[in-house]
Chain A
């Protein structure tokens, strides 16, 4: 089954810097999604990118998708302390989402 895998696992940055995290997957996909999870909370959907899209923007978020390399990246620009969270990519197949282990991002004020 498809499975996202994020790299790196943990990232600590200063407020105002950009944060980049990557995700790779193993099989063909229809779309790939990124979610945020604050400590002890549920998942918040950030952005969905379809397989025929290469780049997508939403506010301070920029997602890229390279289907030839089976990888995606999430860039958070001008980070804020409130961006401190875990970020997961997920691929959809067989009526389920397959999540990676997540990237923990800490933004230091």
Chain B
């Protein structure tokens, strides 16, 4: 049973470009969570999604950030017009329905904005 998959593992973007981060949950998990980790910090919640539905996006910046979890395919975290402050590690986690305490984390995508 493969764990949570994230790709790419490393992503370099120039200021103003778009970044797309992908997350495939564990088999049987229909809930996905995105977290951001700034250097020397803990993880901060960004968004919680179910298939085709955003449940809670209260941790997402109001502009440039969006997330989706389509019926088919991985969850996507999209950052438009990236700025240097977006440089961070972005982690995805998945859980079975109704079990937010049982979140399994992917290896993360490290975004560097130059």
Residues from chain B with a CB closer than 8 A to the CB of A99 are: 35, 42-44
Cβ–Cβ contact A98 & B107, under 8 A:
no
Q: Please report which residues of chain A, range 31-68, place their CB below 8 angstroms from some CB of chain B when the two chains form the complex.
A: 31, 33, 35, 40-45, 48
With contact pairs A96-B33, A98-B45 given, residues A33 and B101 touching in the complex (Cβ less than 8 Å): yes
Nearest A residue to B56, CB-CB: A95
Q: Please report which residues of chain A, range 53-97, place their CB below 8 angstroms from some CB of chain B when the two chains form the complex.
A: 88, 90, 92, 94-97
Q: Please report which residues of chain B, range 29-79, place their CB below 8 angstroms from some CB of chain A when the two chains form the complex.
A: 33, 35, 40-45, 48, 55-56, 59
With contact pairs A42-B105, A42-B108, A43-B91 given, residues A92 and B100 touching in the complex (Cβ less than 8 Å): yes
* B103 CB–A CB distance under 8 Å: yes
Bitwise, A7-50 to B at CB < 8 A (1) or not (0) is 00000000000000000000000110101000011111100100
Measured in the bound complex, the distance between the Cα atoms of B104 and A90 in whole Å is 13
Cβ–Cβ contact B108 & A97, under 8 A:
no
Nearest B residue to A29, CB-CB: B101
Residues from chain B with a CB closer than 8 A to the CB of A42 are: 91, 105-108
We find that the number of chain A residues with CB closer than 8 angstroms to chain B is: 24
Cβ–Cβ contact A43 & B45, under 8 A:
no
Nearest B residue to A99, CB-CB: B42
- The total number of A-B Cβ pairs within 8 Å is 55
Residues from chain A with a CB closer than 8 A to the CB of B59 are: 96
Cβ–Cβ contact B107 & A97, under 8 A:
no
With contact pairs A42-B91, A42-B108, A43-B91 given, residues A96 and B42 touching in the complex (Cβ less than 8 Å): no
Nearest A residue to B101, CB-CB: A92
Nearest B residue to A6, CB-CB: B42
Contacting A97 at CB < 8 Å: which of B40, B56, B103?
A: B103
Residues from chain A with a CB closer than 8 A to the CB of B44 are: 99
Measured in the bound complex, the distance between the Cα atoms of B39 and A101 in whole Å is 10
Nearest A residue to B3, CB-CB: A42
Cβ–Cβ contact A97 & B41, under 8 A:
no
Residues from chain A with a CB closer than 8 A to the CB of B42 are: 4, 88, 99-102
Cβ contacts A to B, 6 pairs, < 8 Å: A42-B105, A43-B105, A90-B43, A95-B100, A96-B33, A101-B40
